[in-house]
Amino acid sequence: MRIGVISDTHGLLRPEAIKALQGSEHILHAGDVGIPRVLNSLRTITTVTAIRGNIDERGPCHDLPPTELVELGGHTIYMLHDVHTLDINPGAAGISAVVFGHSHQPLIERRRGILFLNPGSAGPRRFSLPVTVAWLDIEDRDLSAQIVDLHV
């Protein structure tokens, strides 16, 4: 199963992001959506699960949940915007991956057997950070991730 992961669009869904996420069987948006049109456009590709980020607390995306637990391909994925607010023990909860955003810095890291994935920011460039999305691939019991630079 191939899952597209995007975050921190801040109301800007670049054509490069749409192109990069083609072929996704599900898309996860890890917050700071900005405007509903971003999610509507992603839904033209496949099913989308999205959470609220700090910029979404007020405005048109305020109804999005702050966290989400998603079951995909036999794995449980926990989504939150800011990993520093993680208030559960992923291992004890049976979570395979934690997907987050907020920092705009892409990250793939294993912590005690749990995959932590930040796809970076696909929206407006922040400082000198890259503009990125990510792939989360599930094959049987294995999870792997890849950062995709959008070269904008």
The residues spanned by each domain of the chain are: 2-149
pLDDT band at 97 (very low <50, low <70, confident <90, very high): very high
Burial label for 23, CB within 10 Å (0-12, 13-18, 19+), is exposed
Question: pTM of the prediction?
Answer: 0.97
pLDDT at 140 over 90: no
pLDDT for the residue 11 = 97
User: What is the pLDDT, as a whole number, of residue 141?
Assistant: 85
Instruction: Note the pLDDT of residue 43.
Output: 98
Query: What is the third-level CATH fold of 2-149?
Result: Purple Acid Phosphatase; chain A, domain 2 (3.60.21)
